Structures are given as C-alpha cells and as structure tokens.
Amino acid sequence: MCGKEATLVRAKIEMAEMDVCEKCAKHGVVLRRLDVPSAKKKERREIKPQKEIIEEVVEDYAQIVRKSREDKGMSQEDFAKKLNEKESVIHKIETGGLIPSLKLARKLERLLHIRLIEIVEEHHNAAPSSSKKGSELTLGDLIKIKKK
C-alpha cells in the first residue's frame, strides 16, 4: 500500500487480498509471509532507447499553403469549395491561426501538390514496465497525489 520496497506478506485488508509490507499488513489480517523480496527489487533490466515515429505538420505550413493556392490562381473561397471546407478554416490556416489536422493536411497536399506532413523520430529512454518508476501507483502514491 505504501510502495515501500521490502519483503512482502499476503494480507487481507478490507476484503481485498494484497501483497504489502509488514507495516501495512497491520491494517488487516496476515494470510502468509512471502519469502521472495519485492519483484521491483529483484528484476532490474537495462534501459533500452525506444524510437517513436510521429507525423507532424511542418512549421511553415501557412506560407506554403497560401503561396501554393495563389500560384494556382485560386481565391480562398474557390479553394475552400474544392476542399469542402469553410472559407474561415482556410483563412485561419493561411494566417497560422489553425494547424490543420493530419487528415486536412493530406487533403491540402493532394489538391495543391505540396508537402505539409513530415515524419519525426523521437527517441525515448524507456525502462521496462517492471522497473519504470511511476508505472504502477500504490495506495500511498494516491494519498500523496490527493494531498497536493
């Protein structure tokens, strides 16, 4: 319950069986002692970097869309009709007030023959779930969160 990494005991606390430290076991009835130390202590693995591939709209999307639309000789109104979007959406995109969704960016790419979506790789140092700090909340963690 408290999250302490220690030798665990199986205890029944308020109708729930759980593995807890000896101190927390006093809140219920001890069913049996577990000889194995906490799995968190026992299982340590090397942290492996992980790659995540993300599609993002390029930063200068507003200028690219406006210039390409103007080069094709279309007004915002005509362009909006071809895209089946509101003219106000096109205006917001071209002024940088609205980042288009990936779906809308793909429509813009097809109609204007431009590139708005780029692939970005993010590298994360991820620990295995069993040793990742904060991956499993204990009741003690929840109490700390609630107090904040």
pLDDT tens, 101-125? 999 999 999 999 999 999 888 776 6
Please identify which residue in the block is written with the tokens 């430290």.
21
**Residue showing tokens 């094709």:** 72
Beta bridge partners of 123: 51
Rounded CA-CA distance 18/98 in Å is 50
pLDDT at 76: 94
The mean pLDDT of the chain is 81
Return the pLDDT at 139.
Answer: 74
Number of H helices, E strands in the chain: 7, 5
Place domain 54-122 in its CATH homologous superfamily.
lambda repressor-like DNA-binding domains (1.10.260.40)
pLDDT tens-digit readout, 1-17: 677 777 888 888 888 88
pTM of the model: 0.51
What is the rounded (10 degree) CA torsion for 6, 14, 142, 125? 50
Residue 65's CB: how many other CB atoms inside 10 A?
23
Domain with CATH 1.10.260.40 in the chain: 54-122
DSSP string, 26-58: TTSEEEEEEEEEPHHHH-----EEEEEEEEEE-
Residue-level pLDDT at 134: 47
Average confidence (pLDDT) over 67-94: 95
